[in-house]
Structure formats: structure tokens, C-alpha cells
Amino acid sequence: INAAYMGAVELSIVLAQTGCCAVYMIFVAQNLKMLLGTATGCASWTDIPLWVLVVAQLVVHVPLSWVRFLKQLGWAAIIADAFVILGIVYIMVQDGVIIAIEGVKTVPMFNPRSCAIFIGTSIFVYEGIALVLPIRASMRDHREFPAVTTAAVATTCVVCSAFAMLGVLAYGFQLKDNILLAIPQDVLLVVDLPNFRWGLVQTVQAAYVVAVVFTFPLQLFPATRVFED
């Protein structure tokens, strides 16, 4: 019975982490497609099938996934966190500006059509839960683990709740699954040439792409350890 329970837990970890990684790859492909199309002004980039950009990411993901010790991925986690914070701050400020100019959008308190998506997305917020034990094993002082975990979970809840609330109030039903695709692409352009446009929005999109790429091996790490064991 214990072996069956252990197998069920390990199967759940593998499915959860590989599912998160699959979402990551689609997210990167969508943002790359829009980023390249907007920056170059070339419509041919938008005609590229999404699966091509997904497969192309394996050139980066596979070597990073060969890392076998979580401590060696510390630099990747720091880079990813820095870019994620940059993106969160910009998007929340942009939401605040839209609310200040256009006012708060009217949205129902409960939408049964998208309830299932809301539940799935809420669960996806805790995508890194399988990394808790590997992180504890990598800590120098295990006594600090409860405090660090509590602070991390509480911060995640507050930031994600505020982020989602501002997005809904700013965009209403026009809000897309990927909020980066809903933000106006011509805000604060730094370079505006006939064949190349680059601004703050493109910088945030590129930062998120880099962040997700460096987060990929961390999310896949628990599933990799299960397969190896």
C-alpha cells in the first residue's frame, strides 16, 4: 500500500511539473511571436506556427535541464526573479494608469463561464510547491525553513491577489489569459524606426521570456528527480 501511495504522489508530481513546463513553453512562444512581430513590424513573424517556436525552445531547455543539483540553479532563479519583479511592477503600474484614466470596469462578482479557468489558474499560482522539499534540503540552516516558507506563501498570495484584481478592474472582459498580450504595444517607445520598434512594453515582454526560460529547469527539477530515482 505504501508503495502505491508513493507511486501516486510521484505521478502527481511528474504530471504537475511537466504540465507547468508545457504552459511555460506556450507562454514563451506566444510572447516571442508578438515581440518579434511588433519589434520588426514584419507580419511574417505572426504567421509562424506556434509549435515551431515551442520546439525551438528545446535548444535552451534541454541543456539547462541537465543540471542535477538545485544549488547550481541559484543564479538562474535570481535572474528569473529579477525579471519577474520588473514585469509585475510595470504591469501593475500600467493597470493603475488605465484605471485612473478610464475608470474601473464593471465586472460581475461571479462568472460561471470562466469559473473553471479561474480555479485552474489559482492552483497554477502554487506551481512551485513541489520544489519545497528540494529547497529545504539545499538550505544551510533547516531551522529557518518554516519562516521562509510562510513568508514566501503569504507574499505570493498578496501579490497574486493584487495583480489579478488590478488587471480585472483595468481591462474587464477584455482581459486575456496572457495579460502581456492585452497591453498597448506602442507605450513609451525608445526606438521607433520603419523596420524596428522597441519600447518599455517590449522590454517587459523580453524580460518575462528570459525569466520563464530560466525558471523552466527549476520547475522540471522535481520531475527529473522522480524519473532518476
- Tens-digit pLDDT string for the chain (229 aa): 577 888 888 888 888 888 888 888 888 888 888 887 777 766 666 778 888 888 888 888 888 888 777 677 777 778 888 888 888 888 888 888 888 988 888 877 777 777 787 787 777 777 777 777 777 777 788 888 888 888 988 888 898 888 888 888 888 877 776 777 667 666 666 666 666 777 777 788 888 888 888 888 888 888 888 877 7
- Contact (CB, 8 A) for 217 and 57: no
Query: 3-state DSSP call for residue 108?
Result: coil
Q: Give dist(CA 151, CA 139) in Å, integer.
A: 16
3-state SS class at 39:
helix
- For residues 134 and 73, the answer to whether their CB atoms sit within 8 Å is no
Distance between CA 84 and CA 19 in Å, rounded? 20
pLDDT for residue 141: 82
Q: Tell me what pLDDT residue 117 has.
A: 77
User: How big is the chain, counted in residues?
Assistant: 229
What is the pLDDT, as a whole number, of residue 193? 64
Per-residue pLDDT at 188: 62
pTM of the entire structure? 0.72
Rounded CA-CA distance 169/99 in Å is 7
pLDDT on residue 1: 55
Dihedral (CA of 204, 205, 206, 209) sign: positive
**Given this model, what pLDDT does residue 140 score?**
80
Per-residue pLDDT at 221 = 81
pLDDT at position 107 is 78
* Distance set, CA 23 to CA 19, 27, 72 (Å): 6, 6, 24
